[in-house]
Amino acid sequence: MLKIGLTGSIGMGKSTVGKLFAEAGIPLNDSDAVVHDLYAGEAAPLVDAVFPGSMRDGAVDRHELGRQLALDPAGFKRLEAIVHPLVRKREDEFLARQQAAGAEMVLLDIPLLFETGAWERVDVVVVVSTDPQIQRQRVLAREDMTEEKFNMILSRQTPDAEKRRRADYLVDTSNSIAETRERVLEIVAELKMRIAKGDFRNA
């Protein structure tokens, strides 16, 4: 079973591209969605123990957690130590289900693919990118986003140029959704052809 790693910096359109792969019939494990689910359940009391007051009604209050992290950026390491093992467990469960179902390939949407070393667990890396000005416009249009918060997030992410350099496939979302979908379908078709040729014997 071929494992495709999908990544891209904030505002690049990674979530949209992930959905397009899913529309093309590729099973998707979305790490962001998994984190949202964990924050509403088993991770909440664990996070609250390290970041007191960050839990509201049994779920992590992301705004309060973000406020605490902005005051103490070193807290990201403590948060990752809690969340990453839980996310990895969900990923392993997803892979086991898809393997049992006979999936030819799967897509792992991992925002910090390079930063956490997750690229070593996948067979192919797809990077989503766009023009920096488009990225900035998209991100700053989000609710509760500020220049300071945007720059803090960027500082924790591998630079886009480095991601592009390390990509096996690149999806540029600067243009229309139709063009982005066409690029995704091209990648899926090429990967299926490469699987048929035996390019990924150990996948």
pLDDT per residue of the chain (203 residues) written in tens, 0 to 9: 999 999 999 999 999 999 999 999 999 999 999 999 999 999 999 999 999 999 999 999 998 998 999 888 889 999 999 999 999 999 999 999 999 999 999 999 999 999 989 999 999 999 999 999 999 999 999 987 888 888 888 888 899 999 999 999 999 999 999 999 999 999 999 999 999 998 876 55
Which domain, by its residues, includes 174?
1-27+105-203
Asked whether residue 11 is marked as a ligand-binding residue, the answer is yes
Shared domain check, 43 and 9: no
- Final residue belonging to a domain, choices 68, 102, 136: 102
* CATH code, 159: 3.40.50.300
Shared domain check, 182 and 159: yes
Shared domain check, 162 and 109: yes
Instruction: Please name the residues in contact with 68: beta carbons below 8 A apart, sequence gap of 6 or more.
Output: 51, 53, 54, 75
Question: What is the C-alpha to C-alpha distance for residues 125 and 14, in angstroms, rounded to an integer?
Answer: 13
Asked whether residue 14 is marked as a ligand-binding residue, the answer is yes
Asked whether residue 53 is marked as a ligand-binding residue, the answer is no
**CB distance 176 to 13 below 8 Å:** no
Question: What's the residue count for the chain?
Answer: 203
Shared domain check, 2 and 54: no
Question: What is the C-alpha to C-alpha distance for residues 57 and 38, in angstroms, rounded to an integer?
Answer: 14
Question: What is the C-alpha to C-alpha distance for residues 164 and 142, in angstroms, rounded to an integer?
Answer: 25
Shared domain check, 124 and 92: no
Asked whether residue 15 is marked as a ligand-binding residue, the answer is yes
